[in-house]
Chains A and B, each alone.
Chain A
Amino acid sequence: MLDGATPSVLDVKGLKTVFKTRRGEVHAVNDVSFHLKAGELLGVVGESGSGKSVTMMSLIGLLPSPPAEVRNGTVMFEDQDLLTATDEQLRAVRGARIGFVFQDPMTSLNPVFNVGFQLMEPLRKHMGMNKSAARKRAVELLELVGIPDAARRLKDYPHQFSGGMRQRVMIAIALACDPKVLIADEPTTALDVTIQAQILELMKDLRDKLGMAVVWITHDLGVIAGIADRVLVMYGGQVVEHAPVRELFKNPQHPYTHALLQTVPNVRGKREARLEVIEGQPPILGAPPSSCPFRPRCARAIARCEVENPLREPVSQGHDVACFHPVSATEAQNA
């Protein structure tokens, strides 16, 4: 749906983030590059610990430093490199032009301030609204995210909302100033399935209505299939595969992506005797990777994987993979 000519709103190149801990360094993000075009929805998948959250938080300086240190890279957003921007400049971007929704709605709102206050804060700070204008907009926002009786609920505190409603409030806060980019870090993971579906519907709706670009982090490939335009697959703090969503599901190249797709239970077709699992643990890297991080768990590993970390190589239009021994198209279909 989007051609190559659409300019990127967000262009990340060579991002490296390291945590300095007492037991040495943890290389959580290693040379991650991706871009985001206006109005598109980019899905980011990967196991727990693959560096999805750290990547996104590095972009807008949300990681506490120390221990986090962004070592390398550029993050171009509207002709500005966010990694070299001053704190003041970053604050003008955060919450105004880049909105963030976090995983756990139960703890992400401040318990002692009412929802109206928390929703009006970015409006007053970034849009310079006075109290009554901000209140009016806050009511609109709550209505937009589907909270009934919005005007009255502004005075309510977070604990008076259910989990799903709180996540709607979080989304309303993130959308408050009409951001260009919305980063949603597993926004539905902590919610039960019906609420998840509602939030997904809401997000699809809002994206069509407001036309912002969305980065959607999730474990759930089913969700990705439903809403994403393109997908980044992350492993060991790296992007191991990147493709448009249909292409990725049809033709996964990286053994990890392949394995991930196998772990999704198939509702249609024949039922597997038991669900596939990927054996082993994701790595915690004490140094920049010098071999393929997936190698210990990979059935297709070859000698070269031991001595060299594969770079992302294009395989077709808009599809690239970091693997020396990718799964071929025929194999993928037979599997």
Chain B
Amino acid sequence: MLTYTIRRLLIAIPTLLFISLIIFLILDLAPSDPTASLPLTIPPEVRAEIRASLGLDEPVHIRFGLWLYQFFVNEPINLIEQWTGASFGEESRPRVVSWQTRSPVVDLIAQRMPQTLWVVGTSYVVGILIAVPIGVISAYRQYSWFDQLGTFISMLGFSVPTFFTGVLFIVIFSVQLGWFPSVYDTTHVVTDFASFWVQIKQIIMPVMVLGLFNASQISRFMRASMLDNLNQDYVRTARAKGLSEQVVVLVHVLRNSMIPVVTVIALGVPQVFGGAIITEQVFKVNGLGHLLIGAIQGGDIPTVQTLTFIFAFLIVLFNLIADVLYGILDPRIRYD
């Protein structure tokens, strides 16, 4: 397993380099101009100078090489310096800098990451916690009213996009009922119970919107996987041993059913970040999704490039995690 993991990690390096090249080329082909949103009174020569100051007059391969060097060499060294307090070589290494804000992209990401992780992470966990029991019960009581209701709600949750449910939730719970705020305040600090309650109230809607979507998908997988296993011969064996239904279902069947579901959950993590982009817009959570949209609109290529690359990295990483988990959960799988 360990050698397999190491081999996969090594293969991931050229994969990720190739992905970053593709992203770079696509962004380069896109007709975006970082000066487009500047006032029209700025004369063209000045615009050209601004572009040159951003490094845009260099040929593509130089720019890509610079980004690679800054992101993969300079930024890690900076991080290590920060953590250890040691300093290596020259004082100022050029960093990947946002064209919009002129601040290093990595710092921007570090600022925005916690909000996204809070909202997205909570909603994913909530989604899983809702989905697994629903899937188990729906399968065990197939075609019962519970199962029918579960099917209906998850079809709804799965097919209605989050930008619709998000706005719908805001209209109902913020505008009509006034229960929850419609905007997520990222500067809010939890210090005592009262402020914790405020945090709960503001996080509940984005978490519900994303959680409903995730739960719909995962509960369907859980149900299908349980149904597959409930008809297996080993279940009959477990019953013939006189085990209680609880043990039969929650130990024997669930343990088998979780194998594909865990894989789906792991593979779904990067997609959740993608889905969060929209939810963050709706609820004004200034997380990574918000940052990405802003950067795209401003033609801020370094930020877009770096964020997109991080999403790609997450996808590659969680693919690996899914495979490793599969190997751990299923004793029949041996990678080495």
Binding site for B on A (CB under 8 A): 60, 62, 87, 90-96, 99-100, 102, 104, 107-114, 121-122, 125-126, 157, 159, 170, 173-174
Contact = CB atoms under 8 A, between A and B. Distances in A.
B259 A112 contact: yes
Contacts of A113: 252, 255
User: Most chain-B CB neighbours within 10 Å: which of A87, A96, A107?
Assistant: A107
Contact of A121 (B232, B233, B243, B329): B243
Contacts of B239: 62, 94
Nearest to A160: B331
Interface string B200-243: 00000000000000000000000000000000111011111111
Contact of B233 (A60, A107, A157): A107
Given A110-B252, A111-B331, A95 B241 contact: yes
A108 B243 CA distance: 15
A245 B331 CA distance: 45
A316 to B, nearest CB: 36
A112 B243 CA distance: 17
Nearest to A111: B332
User: Most chain-B CB neighbours within 10 Å: which of A90, A93, A99, A108?
Assistant: A108
28 contacts: A60-B240, A62-B240, A87-B245, A90-B242, A91-B243, A92-B242, A93-B242, A94-B241, A94-B242, A95-B240, A95-B241, A95-B242, A102-B233, A102-B240, A104-B233, A107-B233, A108-B237, A109-B234, A110-B252, A111-B234, A111-B256, A111-B332, A112-B256, A114-B331, A121-B243, A125-B243, A159-B331, A173-B237
Given A93-B242, A121-B238, 11 more contacts: A91-B244, A94-B242, A100-B240, A108-B234, A110-B256, A112-B330, A113-B252, A114-B331, A121-B243, A121-B247, A126-B242
Interface residues of B, number: 22
Given A157-B331, A157-B332, A159-B331, A109 B237 contact: yes
A125 B242 contact: yes
Given A110-B238, A110-B256, A157-B331, A95 B233 contact: no
Contacts of A95: 240-243
A20 to B, nearest CB: 14
Nearest to B236: A62
A108 B233 contact: yes
Question: Does more than half of chain B's interface fall in helix, strand or loop, or is it mixed?
Answer: helix
Nearest to B256: A112
Nearest to A94: B242
A102 B236 contact: yes
A107 B331 contact: no
B234 A107 contact: yes
B259 A121 contact: no
A279 to B, nearest CB: 32
B237 A110 contact: yes
Closest CB pairs A-B (n = 6): A95-B242, A95-B241, A94-B242, A100-B240, A107-B233, A110-B234
Contacts of B245: 87
B242 A159 contact: no
Nearest to B238: A110
Nearest to B235: A110
Contact of A173 (B241, B259, B332): B241
Nearest to B239: A62
A90 B243 CA distance: 10
Contacts of B233: 102, 104, 107-108
A112 B237 contact: no
Contacts of A108: 233-234, 236-237
Contacts of A94: 239-242
B242 A112 contact: no
